[in-house]
């Protein structure tokens, strides 16, 4: 097949253009060290993971927040530092800011939460802000989570906007920093479901709260996955899950897990009675409010345990005391 000279030139030009475009695209974010390096901070609230991924610009003697010499109408971003007037602030008041450098800051939460009391669905969001010269800042959670800066920011894709009151610090933070602090639990052993996310730069701190909407519900969902991933013959995970559900008044779900655990445990007993599986059966039955059956299993465990030289006398004595307490109404 003959190819004309003009067609060959056109084809080569097309390949050259493609190669050139590919080089430009691949050169946009090369895997080399860069200024304003990336950081991620995360915190567990209940069983919910909250994280912020951002780049950390430094002050380096520059003015951070302030007015620009020439006012620009509207809230449109002025992130393009190449267009920044000489000696103007890095972050102008009243305009959308990527809340960092390079890519827009990323806020991720794997359960539905309340942000400053407002609902935000589980997901990934680009986090933009509109700094205010006076009064409250605007914090924006935008559904377009793959943005470079705020150049492509589209308010129509906002999932949530909240207001946050800035604070003035007595000391300065050189590198932009995000903190996530969990609230102190009510008592030892408790888990907290609420925390505070705050950005700090220069002498400004802007906090907002994040609270898990349904700690029990999200935990039950994860426990279902935990049970599903467990060995099918192992009653232990069902007991663990049932204990949490019972403690949090999820009675139907707790009983379902305890019944599954009882069935698996009975299969073990059918193969061979041991002190351990009989004691476990007694515990499961007690959780199912089957007191008489629980006592019978516990008493049988004592008999089997005394006949097994590998069982510690202290373990048998502890179970006997537990039986006596239950009979005395000290359950």
Instruction: Give pTM, 2 decimals.
Output: 0.77
DSSP E strands: which ranges in the chain?
38-45, 48-55, 65-66, 91-92, 105-109, 113-115, 118-120, 123-130, 137-142, 158-164, 167-182, 194-212
Q: Which CATH superfamily is domain 215-327 in?
A: Tetratricopeptide repeat domain (1.25.40.10)
Q: Give the residue from 98, 270, 290 showing the smallest Cα distance to 199.
A: 98
The mean per-residue pLDDT over the stretch 184-206 comes to 88
Beta carbons of 89 and 64 less than 8 angstroms apart: yes
Model confidence at 221, in pLDDT bands (50, 70, 90)? very high
Beta carbons of 182 and 45 less than 8 angstroms apart: yes
Record the tokens describing residue 63, joined without a space: 């003015």
The pLDDT value given to residue 75: 72
Residues of the chain with CATH 1.25.40.10: 215-327
* CA 30 remoteness from chain centre: 29
Model confidence at 79, in pLDDT bands (50, 70, 90)? low
Q: How far apart are CA 194 and CA 216, in angstroms?
A: 14
Tens digit of pLDDT for each residue in 168-183?
999 999 999 999 999 8
The mean per-residue pLDDT over the stretch 9-24 comes to 39
Residue 85 has what DSSP assignment? P
DSSP E strands: which ranges in 213-315?
none
Torsion of CA 235, 241, 246, 252, to 10 degrees: -80
Rg of the chain's alpha carbons, rounded to an integer? 31
pLDDT at residue 84 is higher than 90: no
Query: Integer distance in angstroms from the first to the last C-alpha of the chain?
Result: 93
The mean per-residue pLDDT over the stretch 3-18 comes to 43
């Amino acid at each position: 097949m003959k190819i004309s000279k003009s067609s060959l030139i056109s084809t080569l030009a097309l390949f050259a253009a493609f190669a050139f475009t590919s080089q430009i695209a691949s050169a946009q974010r090369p895997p080399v060290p860069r200024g304003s390096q990336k950081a991620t901070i995360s915190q567990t609230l209940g069983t919910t993971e909250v994280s912020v991924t951002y780049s950390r610009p430094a002050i380096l003697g520059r003015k951070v927040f302030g007015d620009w010499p020439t006012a620009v109408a509207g809230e449109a971003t002025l992130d393009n530092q190449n267009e920044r007037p000489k000696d103007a602030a890095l972050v102008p008041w009243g305009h959308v800011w990527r809340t960092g450098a390079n890519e827009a800051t990323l806020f991720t939460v794997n359960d539905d939460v309340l942000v400053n009391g407002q609902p935000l669905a589980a997901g990934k969001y680009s986090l933009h802000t509109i700094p205010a010269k006076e009064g409250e800042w605007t914090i924006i959670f935008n559904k377009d989570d793959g943005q470079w800066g705020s150049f492509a920011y589209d308010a129509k894709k906002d999932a949530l906007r909240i207001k946050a009151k800035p604070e003035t610090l007595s000391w300065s933070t050189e590198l932009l920093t995000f903190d996530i602090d969990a609230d102190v639990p009510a008592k030892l052993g408790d888990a907290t479901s609420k925390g505070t996310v705050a950005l700090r730069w220069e002498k400004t701190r802007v906090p907002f709260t994040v609270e898990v909407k349904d700690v029990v519900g999200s935990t039950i969902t994860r426990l279902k996955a935990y049970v599903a991933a467990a060995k099918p013959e192992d009653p232990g995970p069902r007991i663990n899950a049932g204990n949490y559900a019972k403690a949090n008044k999820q009675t139907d779900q707790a009983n379902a897990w305890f019944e599954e655990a009882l069935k698996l445990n009975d299969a073990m007993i059918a193969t061979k009675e041991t002190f351990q599986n009989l004691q476990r059966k007694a515990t499961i039955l007690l959780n199912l409010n089957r007191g008489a059956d629980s006592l019978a299993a516990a008493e049988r465990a004592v008999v089997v345990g005394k006949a097994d030289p590998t069982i510690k006398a202290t373990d048998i004595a502890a179970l006997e005391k537990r039986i006596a307490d239950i009979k005395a109404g000290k359950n």
